[in-house]
C-alpha cells in the first residue's frame, strides 16, 4: 500500500510541477496553452509520459523548448520514483534481516536460560542442604566450622536459617567475624 501511495504522490507532484512549468513557460515565452500542453498534462497523470503528442490536426504546435523541459522534469520524477522503490526494497530486506537476527538471539537466550536456571536451582538446593546440616549441629561446633568459611557463604547460609539458630551460632563465633556477618545480613535485609 505504501509503495502505491508513494507512486501516486509522485505522479500528482509531477502533474503539479508540469502545470506550473507550463504556466511559467507560457508567461516567459508569451504563448497561450495549446491542446498539446493539455495533452502532456493528461499523459503524465495516466502514466504515458514518453509520447505526448505535439500537435492536434491543424492546431498550433507546442513550443519545443517547453516540451523538452517538461519531458526532462517528468523523466527526473520517474527516476526519483525508481530510486525510492529501490530504497524501499532495500529497507524491506534490512527489516527482514534484523527480524531474523532478533529471532535467533531470542532462541539463543532461551537455550542459555535453561542451564543457568538449572545451575541456580542446584546451587540453591546445595545451600539449603548445607544450612539444614549446620542447623542440626551443636551451635558451638557449627560456629567453629563456619568461622573458617568465607563471609559470603556464611551470610547466604544464615539468610535461610532460622533466626534462633543463627543467634546461637553467632554467639559462639569470633566477635569480629560475627559483627561483619551481622552487618552483611542487615545490608541484605535492606536490599530486599
Predicted confidence at residue 149, as pLDDT, reads: 86
- Is 116 contained in some domain? no
Predicted confidence at residue 184, as pLDDT, reads: 87
Residue 116 host element (H or E): helix 64-136
Do 92 and 9 have their domain in common? Answer: yes
pLDDT above 80 (res 38): no
Predicted confidence at residue 86, as pLDDT, reads: 94
Do 150 and 67 have their domain in common? Answer: no
- Is 113 contained in some domain? no
- Is 161 contained in some domain? yes
Do 52 and 146 have their domain in common? Answer: no
- Is 168 contained in some domain? yes
Predicted confidence at residue 55, as pLDDT, reads: 41
Please give the average per-residue pLDDT across 26-36, as a whole number. 57
Q: What is the mean pLDDT of the chain?
A: 78
- Separation CA 26–CA 40 (nearest Å): 14
Do 93 and 175 have their domain in common? Answer: no
pLDDT confidence bin for 65, thresholds 50/70/90: confident
- Is 119 contained in some domain? no
Do 47 and 98 have their domain in common? Answer: yes
- Is 124 contained in some domain? no
- Is 179 contained in some domain? yes
> Which residue, of 55, 90, 105, is where some domain finishes?
105
Instruction: Please choose, from the candidates 132, 129, 124, the residue with its C-alpha nearest in 3D space to the C-alpha of residue 165.
Output: 132
Would you say 96 and 70 are in contact if contact means Cβ atoms under 8 Å apart? no
Do 12 and 100 have their domain in common? Answer: yes
Which residues constitute the domain of residue 51? 2-105
Do 8 and 100 have their domain in common? Answer: yes
pLDDT confidence bin for 53, thresholds 50/70/90: very low
Structural domain tally of the chain? 2
- Is 122 contained in some domain? no
Query: Residue holding cell 496553452?
Result: 33
Amino acid at each position: 500500500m505504501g509503495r502505491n501511495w508513494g507512486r501516486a504522490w509522485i505522479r500528482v507532484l509531477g502533474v503539479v510541477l508540469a502545470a506550473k512549468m507550463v504556466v511559467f513557460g507560457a508567461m516567459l515565452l508569451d504563448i497561450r496553452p495549446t491542446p498539446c500542453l493539455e495533452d502532456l498534462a493528461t499523459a503524465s497523470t495516466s502514466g504515458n509520459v514518453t509520447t505526448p503528442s505535439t500537435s492536434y490536426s491543424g492546431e498550433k504546435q507546442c513550443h519545443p523548448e517547453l516540451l523538452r523541459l517538461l519531458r526532462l522534469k517528468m523523466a527526473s520524477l520517474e527516476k526519483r520514483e525508481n530510486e525510492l522503490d529501490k530504497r524501499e526494497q532495500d529497507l524491506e530486506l534490512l527489516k527482514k534481516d534484523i527480524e531474523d537476527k532478533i529471532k535467533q538471539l531470542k532462541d539463543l537466550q532461551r537455550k542459555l536460560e535453561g542451564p543457568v536456571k538449572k545451575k541456580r536451582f542446584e546451587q540453591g538446593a546445595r545451600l539449603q542442604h548445607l544450612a539444614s546440616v549446620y542447623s542440626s549441629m551443636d551451635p558451638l561446633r557449627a560456629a567453629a566450622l563456619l568461622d573458617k568459611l568465607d563471609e559470603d557463604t556464611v551470610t547466604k547460609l544464615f539468610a535461610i536459617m532460622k533466626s534462633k539458630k543463627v543467634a546461637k551460632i553467632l554467639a559462639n563465633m569470633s566477635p569480629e567475624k560475627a559483627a561483619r556477618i551481622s552487618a552483611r545480613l542487615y545490608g541484605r535485609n535492606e536490599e530486599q
